[in-house]
Amino acid sequence: MILETQQLTRCFGKFTAVDAVNICVHMGEVFGLLGPNGAGKSTAIKMLTTLLPPTAGRATIAGYDVTHQSDAVRRIIGYVPQALSADGSLTGYENLLIFAKLYGIPRSQREQRIREALAFMDLQAVADRLVRNYSGGMIRKLEIAQSILHQPQILFLDEPTVGLDPVARHQVWNLMQQHVKDYGTTIILTTHFLEEADSLCDTVAIVNRGQVIATGAPAKLKATLNQPNATLNDVFITI
């Protein structure tokens, strides 16, 4: 188990955005937090990535407590926030160099890590172009490249494919799956695309109004409905 939460909760005033969530994530799996807008997915991710303190409950990553051992947690995670965040006034290469420095990658290794990440994300040809001229798909791929420079054990991707056209979306899916295969990285992603979760995730937790209402392998969740050709959408509607 690489990640575990116990009754993880976050309130904003009287509103409970994440409500006593218990999830377990196995090492090397792709785990999807699935649910409609406002379900509490980004709030959960922010707590797991140490950016937002929980109101109650706890979470551990590789045994480190996200509240009390946040430095240790930060060293082993990568994070791509929901909003596009790469700097448009810099080139792709320069964006990566900033992250390599931030992550404390030794000078002697920076060039190689950046080249590897660019190659992995198929961005070599545009590395020296300003990011403001990138498409949404290229920016997303650059951000994923940034987040894997320090070879994290666990990668958090908040709505990685929102705003991407179907071709770019499939490319990002394939690259994520390839990364899990090549490096054994655990991926936790959020999405409101049910078919995306279905094809990409080993395990999903369906979240609604801050609560996990179902969890398991997509095939298993669909099988509980006892209807042929059931989709995750049917699961969501039924529970």
Binding span for ligand ADP by CB under 6 A among 38-46, 73-81, 97-105, 197-205: 38-46
Q: How far is the CB of 216 from ligand ADP (least distance, A)?
A: 20
Residue 151 binding: pick among Mg ion, ligand ADP, none (C-beta 5-8 Å cut-off by kind): none
Nearer to ligand ADP, 33 or 73 (CB): 33
Residue 174 binding: pick among ligand ADP, Mg ion, none (C-beta 5-8 Å cut-off by kind): none
Q: Which of 43, 95, 203, 215 binds ligand ADP (CB under 6 A)?
A: 43
Q: Which of 25, 39, 123, 221 binds ligand ADP (CB under 6 A)?
A: 39
Residue 35 binding: pick among ligand ADP, Mg ion, none (C-beta 5-8 Å cut-off by kind): ligand ADP
Q: Which of 21, 30, 35, 95 binds ligand ADP (CB under 6 A)?
A: 35
- Any contact of residue 199 with ligand ADP (CB under 6 A)? no
Cβ–Cβ under 8 Å, residues 201 and 32: yes
Q: How far is the CB of 133 from ligand ADP (least distance, A)?
A: 29
- Any contact of residue 229 with ligand ADP (CB under 6 A)? no
Nearer to ligand ADP, 43 or 153 (CB): 43
Question: Angle formed by the axes of helices 92-102 and 107-120, to 10°?
Answer: 130
Give me the half-sphere count of Cα atoms (radius 13 Å) on the Cβ side of residue 172: 26
Measure Cα distances from 49 to 17, 36, 45, 64, 205 in Å: 16, 21, 6, 12, 18
Cβ–Cβ under 8 Å, residues 3 and 48: yes
How far separated are the first and last CA of the chain, in Å rounded?
27
Instruction: State how far the Cα of 216 lies from the Cα of 128, in Å rounded to an integer.
Output: 43
Binding span for ligand ADP by CB under 6 A among 34-42, 64-72, 95-103, 161-169: 34-42
Nearer to ligand ADP, 6 or 211 (CB): 211
Q: Which of 9, 42, 147, 153 binds ligand ADP (CB under 6 A)?
A: 42
Task: Name which of 200, 143, 144, 206 is nearest 174 in CA terms.
Answer: 200
Instruction: State how far the Cα of 190 lies from the Cα of 161, in Å rounded to an integer.
Output: 10
Measure Cα distances from 170 to 21, 165, 182, 200 in Å: 30, 9, 18, 10
Structure letter (DSSP) for residue 134: S
Q: Which of 9, 16, 42, 186 binds Mg ion (CB under 5 A)?
A: 42
Residue 40 binding: pick among Mg ion, ligand ADP, none (C-beta 5-8 Å cut-off by kind): ligand ADP
- Give the amino acid at 150: H
Cβ–Cβ under 8 Å, residues 53 and 9: no
- The residues of the shown chain that bind ligand ADP, judged by CB under 6 A, are 12, 17, 35, 37-43
